[in-house]
Amino acid sequence: MSTRRVVVDPVTRIEGHLRIEAMLDGSGVIGDAISSGTMWRGIELILEGRDPRDAWAFCERICGVCTTVHALASVRAVEDAIGTKVPRNADIIRNIMFLTQYVQDHVIHFYHLHALDWVDVVSALKADPDATSKLAHAVSPRWPKSSPGYFRDLLTTLKNFVESGQLGIFANAYWGHPAYKLPPEANLMAVAHYLEALEWQKEVIKIHTVFGGKNPHPNYLVGGMASAIALQSDQAINIERLNMVRGLINEAITIVEQLYLPDLLAIAGFYPEWTQIGGGLGNYLCYGDLPQDGIDSPEAFLFPRGAILDRNLSEVLEVDPRDPEGIREEITHSWYDYPEGKQALHPWEGTTRPNYTGPEPP
């Protein structure tokens, strides 16, 4: 049977630059695929020789969508190297910062990055607002924005937007493709929640602004936690600031419980076959996080550390990140070069020597 090569470049709605080449057999099944990250900045090389206290800021810029997490990993590496232990309060605030990003990022990925693969915006035009309201009530009974009038207004907005002929970010897409499985009402509901989540994400990250002064890319890590906590000070993180954080966390809980999770489950119900697709090689490694008793006590992490091999979820294997054989970075499939022709090294031994041997751009 003849094969066909399909190239998707750029893969959109991700952070960074990605190219996928898929080889299809005669019946349209992908037999092999190659993915390439087509951007490289060499931040490891830029870090060489710097003051270690500055490293977090460089690493933070690895990604602005998952802001702060690379900075956190970087500062922990430095603290590990110099044997510093941060106070419990610093760990608590770092955990709050990490979780804020974690929750906000999940919602953004679901609605603003991935949803358009499952949600047909143009099909939403055919939705009946009354039926959409009923659906929304069934999916999330306590979510307030679900009246027929609300969906009717959105439908008008959407109709006018589409009829203007200027589709903006929705232009030239795949609307009407049979791979879209949602009924029009579910599509309309998802569009409504796309916009509601867009509104919310700018609120929850104010937790980052309280402790780190800004988001994206808050500044807060050096010295354990730069922000002073003094409940009765008018210049530090005081009771008013903590109340604000508490309010934002409560709002986030509402969004996750009443918007994000119900939508995720409702939409997933229309795409059951996708639970069997993907998953990579079936081997998973989790460093673990959310220390409750310091970073050196992984047994007390809320997100446990461990490895899963061959999709065997019943057994979580122990990982020692300091073991040179425990974790290795491979370069077999990447454009790097290791000394003495080696293919795999523990991160502590690893080097960054770019060696691009891919096709030359025209």
Partner 1 sequence: MENKPRETTYEVLRRHGIDRRSFLRYCTMLTAAMGLPGSMVTQVVQAMESKPRIPVIWLHGLECTCCTESFIRSSHPIAQDIILNMISLDYDDTLQAAAGHQAEEIRRRLIEEHPGEYLLAVEGNAPTKDGGVYCTVAGQTFLDVLLETAEHAKAIVAWGSCASNGCVQAAHPNPTGATPVHELIHDKPVINVPGCPPIAEVMTGVLTYVLTFDRLPELDRFGRPKMFYGHRVHDKCQRRAFFDAGQFVEQWDDDGARQGWCLYKMGCRGPMTYNACSSMKWNNGVSFPISSGHGCLGCSENGFWDNGPFYQHLAGVPLPGIESTPDTIGKIAAAAAGVGVAAHFGSFIAKRALFGEGRDRQADTTPAKGDEA
* Closer residue to partner 1, CB minimum distance, 164 or 276: 164
Least distance between partner 1 and beta carbon 181 (Å): 16
Least distance between partner 1 and beta carbon 140 (Å): 21
33 beta partners: 22
- Residue identified by tokens 């970075």 is 329
Question: With contact defined as beta carbons under 8 Å apart, do 120 and 182 qualify?
Answer: yes
Task: Note whether 171 binds partner 1 by CB under 8 A.
Answer: yes
* Closer residue to partner 1, CB minimum distance, 219 or 351: 219
Dihedral of CA atoms 62, 336, 326, 320 in degrees, nearest 10, equals -20
Task: Note whether 245 binds partner 1 by CB under 8 A.
Answer: no
* Closer residue to partner 1, CB minimum distance, 230 or 239: 230
H or E element, residue 237? none
Strands 344-345 and 18-24: unpaired
Judged on CB neighbours under 10 Å (0-12, 13-18, 19+), 179 is: exposed
Least distance between partner 1 and beta carbon 298 (Å): 26
Dihedral sign, Cα of residue 165, residue 168, residue 170, residue 171: positive
Task: Note whether 243 binds partner 1 by CB under 8 A.
Answer: no
From the list 214, 16, 11, 196, the residue with the least C-alpha distance to 108 is 196
Binding residues among 277-306 for partner 1 as defined by CB under 8 A: none
Binding segment (CB under 8 A) for partner 1, from list 131-139, 228-236, 292-300, 301-309: 228-236
Binding residues among 176-195 for partner 1 as defined by CB under 8 A: 195
Binding residues among 336-355 for partner 1 as defined by CB under 8 A: 354
For partner 1, the binding residue among 4, 142, 202, 246 (CB under 8 A) is 202
Binding residues among 104-123 for partner 1 as defined by CB under 8 A: 112-113, 116, 121
H or E element, residue 88? helix 88-108
- Residue identified by tokens 């929750």 is 103
* Closer residue to partner 1, CB minimum distance, 139 or 210: 210
Total residues binding partner 1 (CB under 8 A): 93
